[in-house]
Chains A and B, each alone.
Chain A
Amino acid sequence: MKIHEYQAIDLFRKYHVPVTQGVVVEKLQDGENAVNELADKYDVSSFVVKAQVHAGGRGKAGGVKLARDRQTALQHLSNILGMELSTKQTGSASVTVRKVLVTEAVDIAREFYVAITLDRSAAKNVIITSTEGGTEIEEIAKNQPEKIIKEWIDPLIGPRDYQLRRLCGIFGLDKSLTYQLKDILRKIYQLYLDTDASIVEINPLVLTKDDRLIAIDAKINFDDNALYRQKDIARLRDIGEENPAEVEAGKYNLNYIKLDGTIGCMVNGAGLAMATMDIIKIKGGNPANFLDVGGGATPETVKNGFKIILSDKNVKSVLVNIFGGIVRCDRIANGILDAVKELSLDIPIVIRLEGTNADVAAEIIKNSGISVIAASSFADAAEKAVAAANN
């Protein structure tokens, strides 16, 4: 799960990690009061106005602006709030900016990169520091790998002081600042553990001209599997940042991801669902979605699956690919046919059922009197779905 920068900053504050003061604005008419309050309460005269969206790369897309006075801050605010932001991460699509964070601007002497994330193959968390703050870490890793320090943390022991010394040593700070930075690393590691985070990233953590260390950016993602025990974190979810069809699918416990193509896919199992998308592409089509209806594929999940798939108006045909194991194909076939009938679907639907009792299922579909396209194999199903979408 992702959260907004301002929410991540609030969590930092809770863990006594130094951050900038700021206000969140959702309605333009509240902007003036908010900026004035920030300016008066904390004696702020320069501002940074930042779009709050879940996609990264906002700065380059024009979603972050510096203002040297209140008037300019308000001007930026009115430009950014409601704007359509296309970043490197959103691709050709864009996201609407629904919230804007206005913070104090600080005088920056140096910018550092600090992060904690999971290293899957090591099965350990890794703390990463780099002198090249403000740049994307992937860029630094590619072009200047010597400017990155990594320390892998044993989950049964926790970060050792020598590891933190090495991580902070790269910055060449004096003793007092090094001590402060080690303290910040310890605190964000604790935050990471306590909240079941999957990444905590500060880019940049800055050294100000008056020698203070401050996180002026904050990104935290969380492990979805742990949300059941992270009730406070789960409440930070902002559904407005997510695709409405995906949110709807979640209510039915379906795993749906919207894509740009024209062929809807309904599959049981995540791996087979990905493979189905892949074969559609191989056969010259484009998948409209990823949809895993679960191993069992019950009549209920199949029906909900059709509803979600067809909420996407780009869909020209649907490919149903179900492998029946313990749940027999004849039962699944009846479930699919009932759903097609009940929803009176009028779009070409290609059905491929394989596994236990697949031959019985094929007979049921053939004799149903319902106009669906039966496929004899995985490849045949993809070809028929592509042909139907192109008609």
Chain B
Amino acid sequence: MSILLNKESRIIVQGITGQEGSFHAAQCHEYGNNVVGGVTPGKGGQRALNGAVPIFDSVREAKKETGANVSVIFVPPFAAADAILEAADADIGLIVCITEGIPVKDMMIIKNYLKTKTSRLIGPNCPGVITPGEAKAGIIPGSIVKKGAIGIISRSGTLTYEAVHQIGAAGYGQSTCIGIGGDPIIGSSMADLLLLFEDDAETEAVLIIGEIGGSMEIESAELVQEKISKPVFAFIAGSTAPPGRRMGHAGAIITQADETAAAKKNVLKEKGVHIIDSPADMGAVITNVLH
């Protein structure tokens, strides 16, 4: 068990012939041996990954021919919104959008449109999803993760890798790691994924890696109090970030008082989440509570 992604997942890559897309599609295939095709408009009929998988002109066609239920998107920002909508209209169950730089206006339309669809979106501006030992849809390095009982939900990329590393060094592994993305509007929130981890038999505890900006951490704190029985840990990056400045991620900006790291930590703590103050203590705090 795991969430979102497992051995049975059938993955297509939108943008499989691009530089990023072809590199990471190969990495995903090497990891889980379950990339079943790719989509690049105009290149249908050709093959990718050294001939291993077919390329299609459209997602609809790719789904029909391969039975794909996951799509990973590596297309440039100007085409990414269209790529997400195409995957949603083809009823792909899980859409993972890696692309950074999609305008907020486009994401706003997508987010509202997706309410009428069955697809779940992870990202954009994220490293994707990996279920250790089973499958990977994105760019999280397969070599650093190992199978285990901690679920990870993170707004960051390399900070997620840091967390994985610390958890591994402490003797734990991960059930599924999800980079949910650093943009102001993203497909799946922390709260959405916490509910999935709660229902996953393999996950014993969840680590949330949040940051300044927005209210997603606070919304998940409310949920933890009401509906989550498993231990939840949280590190919130950006305690030293000045207000009004965008710290790398488009969504990492303090525009009001309740968006600071301190404010989020207070609410999370109040609702029963184990707060990790130092980013070097992620493994240690989890060990202390779980051992």
- A residues neighboring B (CB under 8 Å): 89, 91, 118, 120-121, 123-125, 138, 154-156, 193, 196, 198, 223-226, 228-229, 255, 257, 259, 267-282, 287, 290, 292, 295, 323, 325-326, 354-356, 377-379, 382
CA distance A257 to B241 in the complex (A): 10
Question: Which residue from chain B places its CB closest to the CB of A292 in the assembled complex?
Answer: B248
Q: Mark B205-216, 1 if CB is under 8 A from A, else 0.
A: 000010111111
CB distance from A246 to the nearest CB of B (A): 10
CA distance A258 to B185 in the complex (A): 26
CB distance from B259 to the nearest CB of A (A): 9
4 A-B pairs closest in CB distance: A271-B156, A270-B248, A269-B158, A271-B159
CA distance A99 to B143 in the complex (A): 55
CA distance A149 to B86 in the complex (A): 37
Q: Which residues of B lie under 8 Å from residue A325 when comparing CB positions?
A: 139-141, 143-144, 158, 161
CA distance A31 to B252 in the complex (A): 41
CA distance A64 to B244 in the complex (A): 22
Q: Mark B73-111, 1 if CB is under 8 A from A, else 0.
A: 000011000000000000000000000011111011101
Q: Which of B5-13, B45-53, B275-283 contacts A (4 or more CB under 8 A)?
A: B275-283
Q: Which of B32-40, B54-62, B195-203, B232-240 contacts A (4 or more CB under 8 A)?
A: B232-240
CA distance A198 to B107 in the complex (A): 13
CA distance A132 to B234 in the complex (A): 39
Q: Which residues of A lie under 8 Å from residue B278 when comparing CB positions?
A: 278-279, 282, 379
Q: Is residue B19 contacting chain A, with contact meaning CB distance below 8 A?
A: no
- B residues neighboring A (CB under 8 Å): 27, 77-78, 101-105, 107-109, 111-113, 139-141, 143-144, 154-162, 165, 182, 184-185, 209, 211-216, 219, 235, 237-242, 244-252, 256-257, 261, 277-281
Question: Which residue from chain A places its CB closest to the CB of B108 in the assembled complex?
Answer: A155
Question: Which residue from chain B places its CB closest to the CB of A197 in the assembled complex?
Answer: B105
Q: Which residues of B lie under 8 Å from residue A277 when comparing CB positions?
A: 238, 240-241
CB distance from B94 to the nearest CB of A (A): 19
Is A229 touching B103 in the complex (CB atoms < 8 A)? yes
Is A228 touching B215 in the complex (CB atoms < 8 A)? no
Q: Assuming the A-B contacts A118-B104, A123-B185, A290-B241, are A354 and B112 also in contact, with contact meaning beta carbons closer than 8 angstroms in the complex?
A: no
Interface centre among B27, B244, B251 (most CB of A within 10 A): B244
CB distance from A92 to the nearest CB of B (A): 11
CA distance A184 to B67 in the complex (A): 51
- The one of B102, B184, B219, B280 that contacts A118, using a Cβ cutoff of 8 Å: B184
Is A196 touching B239 in the complex (CB atoms < 8 A)? no
Is A354 touching B156 in the complex (CB atoms < 8 A)? no
Q: Which residues of B lie under 8 Å from residue A259 when comparing CB positions?
A: 240, 242
Is A123 touching B240 in the complex (CB atoms < 8 A)? no
CA distance A229 to B27 in the complex (A): 32
Query: Could you list some 20 contacts between A and B, CB below 8 A?
Result: A123-B107, A123-B112, A123-B185, A223-B104, A225-B102, A226-B105, A228-B78, A255-B248, A270-B247, A271-B155, A271-B209, A273-B247, A273-B248, A274-B212, A275-B159, A275-B162, A277-B241, A290-B247, A356-B141, A378-B162
